[in-house]
Structure 1
Amino acid sequence: MRSRSSTRGAIWMATWTLLALVSEQSLSAAEFRSIAALQKSGTEVTLLSVYFQNVGVGWAVGAGGAILRTSDGGKRWRPVSSGTTVLLTNVSFADASHGWVVGADGTILHSTDGGEKWVAQSSGTQSALYGLSFLTPSLGWAVGAGGNILHTKDGGLHWTDQISGTNAALYAIHFVDQTHGRAVGALGTILATEDGGLTWIAQETQSAATFFDVSFTDPLNGWVVGNAGALFQTMDGGTRWIDRTLACTRTCSRPTDLIKVRFTDSKSGWIVGERGAIFRTTDAGFSWVEQPNGTKASLFGLTFPDPTRGWASGERGVILRITAK
């Protein structure tokens, strides 16, 4: 078993990869715009994940065990005790009451009161955990370093390993229903399941990119994003992945790492990444337009509780409210 110090080093190395800064890029397409307004988070720590259950209630997590909560759409953010100081990488809620946070050293935290109090759950691993997907207060998955995929059927009272078939770090997981899911990570890894994770099958993109996130709107249509502008789309459940990488333009020295992708419906989607990059599509990802946002902080978290209102989180405690026009 790896030592806690080496595990901690690995998680910070992975985080440093996300935090590396590159120059800006832009794409031209049909005109549409959004408004991104900075909110006062009250912290300077990096916030790696943000999640809103509705347009009023949300949470953000990050370095040093930080958990923030808002009940007024981010006008006021307040700290909530996590009971830990480890790096927290992801937060997700199944409903207004039941939520989970994952992080370094196999950390899993659980709340049953809307994120006011958090209790540690036993993950059975000391490896860093990066991604979460919960469909109900009982049914969920988590992924992390070393190809770990964990599954629970009882709200996290018990977590069991699912065989991923890879040792690559897995950074994100997304289930659209109880059977169809995807997990993505380093070395171009995309894993697919059609049986709730009993079996995971590798899908081929012909890319060695590190994929940081995945978003599907139904079992067939999905997108993955990663380093160096990596962006791939499938319309057949992953049998074929189409390379739509966002190339570097004249204004940047190398392509921007794309960290999170979210689609609010089959046509409308968003991507955030390094140096404050925000991209938007209204044509199912065939074209993307960079959105002005007033920050150069790298953005790592992204959530849209409804089609026109979203939030992003990132370096130095940055939280942005995004309003689509």
Structure 2
Amino acid sequence: MGKLRRMVCAGLAAGVSGAVLAAALSVPAQAQGASGGAAPGWRLTDTGSDARFRGLAAVSRTSAWVAGSGGTVLRTADGGRSWRNVSPAGADGLEFRDIEAFDGRRAVALAIGEGEASRIFRTEDGGAHWTESFRNTDPRAFYDCVTFFDSRHGLAMSDPVDGKFRILSTGDGGSSWKVLPDAGMPAALPGEAGFAASGQCLVSSGPKDVWLATGGGATARVLHSADRGLNWTVAESTLPAGDPARGVFGLAFRDRQHGLAVGGDYRPEQASPQAAAVSGDGGRDWRQAKTPPSAYRSGVAWLPYSGSAALAVGPTGTDLTTDGGRTWRTVDTGSYDTVDCTWDLGCWAAGEQGRVARSAF
């Protein structure tokens, strides 16, 4: 899922734990409050911010980072009871859309935008100090997402430049970045781009596999690289396309074979009847969900220790699948843009108006 996962604790009953997580979030929509707030599965936290948080890095049940509008980065170490503003100095005018955390002290945050608005920052002391490790100087580039394979190796992706998606690479934990050669990158479709909606348009699983989600073109596609971004193959998804507002907005892979794609049309007045798809072969082929989420979804995450349960979130709610993405049902009507789950049975969601929630398992 593009977020670093810790090793499974010894003796943990993995299958049972996954079932418990799914059951805890399986709350009938009609049982929720009319306001669409947090259902028993989600517990809203008080961030003290009104930023829109599209960047989320869940470290554990108690530790998480969020990044969003107005150059805002927050961190919690107590399960969301309190949040510390650890925004980089002078970043007020930036738009953070993705953040990757290695632990409670080390993180890498991506700001998006044309030209020099696209920047990458890195901290090693819990956000007390940040180093700007990359600033885009090409006015044609627009960076959308970042992902890490481990604590040293990672990639960031830009919308197409000279007809191909541009990939940045780091081998030192985000301290320095270089543009990879594009000889192994397929040509982009006219109008094709990534969506910086949830920090999940570029995700990785394992030491070398990475997937890139697209939209805006005639078809919504998923690109895959098995060598850390040097060579790519491309597959068409089943999600809505043919418009700048439609495509694949979020990806999640629980291993190098099993993946989920969510998206649709982000305009609230437009329906998204085919908002999810599933792959069982590493993204080479995608099957439309038999019962997809009822509306556009921007973020998706597998539940820990479950081979079949996952969450998808968007402005109109949270959906749960317990059959590997074939069918989905709404379990909460609160607004979230992104979701992430952790090795110790915790899940977090973040979105507009400073909304950050965690699971109450």
User: Shorter-chain TM-score: what band?
Assistant: 0.7 to 0.9
How far apart, CA to CA, are the structure 1 residues paired with 2:129 and 2:339?
Answer: 23
Match of 1:233 in 2: 278
1:204 paired with 2:236, answer yes
1:292 to 332, 336, 359: 332
After superposition, the C-alpha distances for 1:76-125 in whole angstroms (9 at most, x for unaligned) are 11211312121100111134432110012211010112333221112445
Render the CA deviation track for 1:28-50: whole Å, top value 9, x for unaligned: xxx93352121111011211122
Q: Does the 8 Å contact 1:39/1:74 carry over to 2?
A: yes
Select the structure that is richer in helix. 1
Q: Residue 353 of structure 2 aligns to a residue in which SS?
A: helix
Q: State the identity as a percent.
A: 23
1:230, 1:245 within 8 Å by CA — same for their partners in 2? Answer: no
Please tell me the residue identity of whatever aligns with 1:130. Answer: D
Please say if residues 107 and 128 of structure 1, whose CA atoms lie closer than 8 Å, have aligned partners that are also in contact.
no
Aligned partner of 1:121 among 133, 137, 152: 133
Q: CA deviation at 1:72?
A: 0.4
Runs of 4+ in 1 over 4 A off after TM superposition: 245-248
Which AA in structure 2 matches 1:94?
F
- The Cα of 1:75 is off from its aligned counterpart by 0.5
What is residue 270 of structure 1 aligned with on the other side? 311
The aligned amino acid for 1:291 is: V
CA distance 1:308–1:323, shift in 2 (3 Å): farther
Alpha-carbon distance in structure 1 between the residues aligned to 2:194 and 2:170: 17
One-letter amino acid of the structure 2 residue matched with residue 158 of structure 1: S
Match of 2:176 among 155, 158, 165: 158
Q: Give 3-state SS (helix, strand or coil) of 1:258's partner.
A: coil
Q: Distance in 1 between matches of 2:123 and 2:292?
A: 41
Shift of residue 145, structure 1, vs aligned partner: 2.7
CA distance in 2, matches of 1:206, 1:70: 37
CA distance in 2, matches of 1:121, 1:233: 35
Write the deviation string for residues 199-235 of structure 1: whole angstroms up to 9, x where unpaired: 0111122542411111111111101111225211111
In the alignment, is the contact (CA less than 8 A) between 2:61 and 2:344 conserved in 1?
no
Aligned residue for 2:332, secondary structure, equals coil
TM-superposed deviation, 1:247: 5.4
Which of 67, 72, 78 matches 2:78?
72
Shift of 1:242: 0.3
User: 1:182 pairs with 204, 211, 215, which one?
Assistant: 211
Q: What SS class does the counterpart of residue 360 from structure 2 fall into?
A: strand
Question: 2:156 — aligned with what?
Answer: 142
Does the residue aligned with 2:298 lie in a helix, a strand or coil?
A: strand
Q: Does 1:303 align with 2:344?
A: no
1:9-158, aligned counterparts within 5 Å? Answer: 32-33=26-27, 35-83=41-89, 84-85=91-92, 86-104=94-112, 105-124=117-136, 125=138, 127-146=141-160, 147-158=165-176
Map of 1:316 onto structure 2? 353
Structure 2 CA distance for partners of 1:47 and 1:41, relative to 1, 3 Å: same
Q: Which residue of 2 aligns with 1:193?
A: 225
User: 1:292, 1:155 → 2: CA distance?
Assistant: 36
Q: Which moved more, 1:164-173 or 1:261-270?
A: 164-173
Q: TM-score, normalised by structure 2?
A: 0.73
Using a 3 Å threshold, how does the CA distance of structure 1 residues 310 and 206 change in structure 2: closer, same or farther?
closer
Does structure 1 residue 244 correspond to structure 2 residue 289?
Answer: yes
1:266 CA drift (Å)? 1.8
The 10-residue stretch of structure 1 (200-209 or 133-142) with the greater mean CA deviation from structure 2: 200-209
Deviates more, 1:68-77 or 1:164-173: 164-173
CA distance 1:113–1:42, shift in 2 (3 Å): same
Tell me how many residue pairs correspond in the alignment: 285
Report the Cα distance in structure 2 between the residues aligned to 1:242 and 1:279, rounded to whole angstroms: 18
Shift of the 232–206 alpha-carbon distance from structure 1 to 2, 3 Å rule, reads: closer
Task: Output the TM-score relative to the length of structure 1.
Answer: 0.80
Structure 2 stretches of 5 or more lacking a match? 1-24, 28-39, 196-200, 265-271
* Aligned counterpart for 2:297 among listed residues 258, 267, 284: 258
Q: For residue 150 of structure 1, what is the amino acid of its counterpart?
A: L
| Cα distance in 2, alignment partners of residues 286 and 189 from structure 1 | 19
Aligned-pair CA distance for 1:189: 2.3
Over 3 Å counting, the alpha-carbon distance change for 1:246 and 1:90 in structure 2 is: farther
Name the stretch that deviates more: 221-230 or 157-166: 157-166
**What is the alpha-carbon distance in structure 2 between the residues aligned to residue 87 and residue 107 of structure 1?**
10
Query: Post-superposition shift, 1:245?
Result: 6.7
Aligned-pair CA distance for 1:160: 2.1
User: How far off its partner does 1:135 sit?
Assistant: 2.2
User: Which residue identity lines up with residue 118 of structure 1 in the other structure?
Assistant: W
Cα distance 1:66–1:246, how it changes in 2: closer, same or farther (>3 A)? farther
- C-alpha offsets along residues 6-56 of structure 1, whole Å, 9 cap, x if unaligned? xxxxxxxxxxxxxxxxxxxxxxxxx93352121111011211122221111
What's the counterpart of residue 31 of structure 2? none
